[in-house]
Homo-oligomer: A and B are copies of this chain.
Amino acid sequence: MIFMLTTQRGLFKSAFMAHLTSSVEYGLHCLLWLVGKEDQPLSSRDLAELQGVSPSFLAKIFPKLEKAGIVLSTGGVRGGYVLARPADQISFLDVVDAIEGDKPLFECQEVRGRCALFGGDAPGWATAGTCAIHAVMLQAEKAMREALAAQTLASVGARFGSKAPADFFSSFDSWAQGRARDRTARSGRSAKTTPP
């Protein structure tokens, strides 16, 4: 199976869909830009341009983050998204669950009950409790989820930020303020309001 993802940079091809998808990847990158920027909302369109990714791709992600209480949409023509709670209270697991929903690592098909020796009528001992194979997969999923829960936007944002020179952040602030001015100017030319 071949899956394709189109971004402004072109076409990515993969032989499979990774469990932690591009939606999660882009969502996390966007959220890291919002850390410490409670007074400087960014629209999903701004974030798409900033990162070279399709605006329609991000436009599908942000409503999920908003529904999960991870971002807030601030109204008005200069509106955009801000983090809905402190960055050290938003884990990677919160973001994965918000974007991916209920997506287990493994789907047990209860193979054990189908054994031909049971003649279509599996006894209670054969199907009681969780299948031993499923139990191992659940342990593996739990370990994965605990690793994701142990990291927050704050901890990873700090690592991200520690590499950048100070003038990078001032360039970013100037860029973000310019985008906010552009949105205000556009709204002056048109009464139509657009979602963040």
Q: Mark contacts of A131-165 with chain B using CB atoms, 8 A cut-off: 1 yes-contact digit, 0 otherwise.
A: 01101110111111111100100001001100111
- Does A111 make an interface contact (CB < 8 A)? yes
- Does A20 make an interface contact (CB < 8 A)? yes
The contact size tier of chain A is 35 or more
Given contacts A108-B25, A109-B22, A156-B136, contact A51 B148 (CB under 8 A): no
A141: chain B residues within 8 A (beta carbon):
144
- Does A50 make an interface contact (CB < 8 A)? yes
| Cα distance A163–B128 in the bound complex, in angstroms | 9
Minimum distance in angstroms from A97 CB to a CB of chain B = 13
Q: Mark contacts of A119-132 with chain B using CB atoms, 8 A cut-off: 1 yes-contact digit, 0 otherwise.
A: 00000011010001
> Is there contact, CB below 8 Å, between A175 and B117?
yes
Q: Mark contacts of A15-34 with chain B using CB atoms, 8 A cut-off: 1 yes-contact digit, 0 otherwise.
A: 01111101011101100100
Which parts of A71-96 form the interface with B (CB within 8 Å)? 92
